[in-house]
Structure 1
Amino acid sequence: MEYFDHVGISYDGDKINDEPHGFGQMTMQDGSKYTGNFLSGQFHGDGELVFESGGVVGKIVGRWDNGELQEHKIFFGDNLQFESDNWNYLIPSDRRFHNEITGAVPVAASRTEPSQFPDLLSIAEYKKTQSAAAN
């Protein structure tokens, strides 16, 4: 039993009094989907909310009580679990932080091997090239 409401939310699942009640799947306008249990139109009990934000896909697996999230785990699209207590990924002390966060450069998307580095000049050689260029 699927229906669409006036704001573009669709629902496919059990209903009572024309409201989501029991098990079903609700799809929001932004494409995020909740699959799980409902009580009188609210997320209630166990469920999974899959979303996309800024091109990043993630999901929240949790337990709701009348629409309020009570317990949860957050997973990224690659199933890396976010752990707020022991999170050591992309923090300022992590070398990846500068590249990925401040420079918007993915780490290890490509790699430059030592044999591919351009020829390097010593400081003395650099100074010679600068003085020669100035003359």
Structure 2
Amino acid sequence: MELTGSKFEGELQNGRMEGHARFTFPEGSSVFEGEMKDGMFHGDGTLHFPDGGKYVAKWDHGRVVEGRYIFKDGLVWERAGWDYCLGDDRRFYSERVGGIRPAGESLQTNTGVLPPIPQGCFDTGAGYYDPNSSFLYSYTGVQQRKPEKDEIDWITKHCRIQR
């Protein structure tokens, strides 16, 4: 696994990952914990993502048979019956659970905490746009990509600017 940057903790049979295991993807981007067979996810297992979300599923030779995604805040996504953030209902999950706050105390994020961004930059919800460099950055300041003109227009029209 040294060549790929991934890490495996578990049993090997005939040189293949087998049984209960913990598999960490390169650079710790995600972690799988669960059953493996013949080097593939097989049986019950959970993929943990860096943002705190996780995908809990039943696997069959590397393919999902059934599963659900659970966001960091506990919101559960399932293919059937999903009605969150559809149509005119744009409430945050915490507002659905705990109710909408009084006027003047409205949430701008699900947690109520705004991520810190540099002055003059726009909060995109997944990072920020810096009009001086014309690049999108993660909230940790890592440069991501240069957006197209129509995306820049939308960001500067709709996103919160740090003054």
Q: TM-score surpassing 0.5?
A: yes
**Pairing 1:25–2:28 present:** no
In structure 2, do the counterparts of structure 1 residues 94 and 11 end up closer, same or farther at CA, with 3 Å as the change threshold? same
SS in 1 for 2:52: strand
Corresponding residue number in structure 2 for 1:65 = 60
Give the SS at the match of 1:90. coil
CA RMSD of aligned residues (A): 2.1
Q: What residue is the counterpart of 1:11 in the other structure?
A: 8
Match of 2:140 in 1: none
1:60-101 deviations in Å (ceiling 9; x for gaps):
11111111111101100122111333222222311338xxxx
Q: Larger Cα Rg: Structure 1 or Structure 2? A: 1
Q: Which residue of 1 aligns with 2:79?
A: 84
The alpha-carbon deviation at position 109 of structure 1 amounts to: 2.3
What TM-score, normalized by structure 1, do the two folds share? 0.63
Gaps of at least 5 residues in structure 2 are 93-107, 114-163
Question: Under a length normalisation based on structure 2, what TM-score does the superposition of the two structures give?
Answer: 0.53
Contact 1:88–1:94 under 8 Å retained in 2: no
Q: Look up the equivalent residue of 1:75 and give its one-letter code.
A: I
- Tell me the secondary structure at the aligned position of residue 95 of structure 1: coil
- Report the Cα offset of residue 18 of structure 1: 2.2
Count of equivalent residues: 97
| Paired amino acid for 1:109 | G
What residue is the counterpart of 1:42 in the other structure? 40
- Structure 1 runs of 4+ with >6 Å offset: none
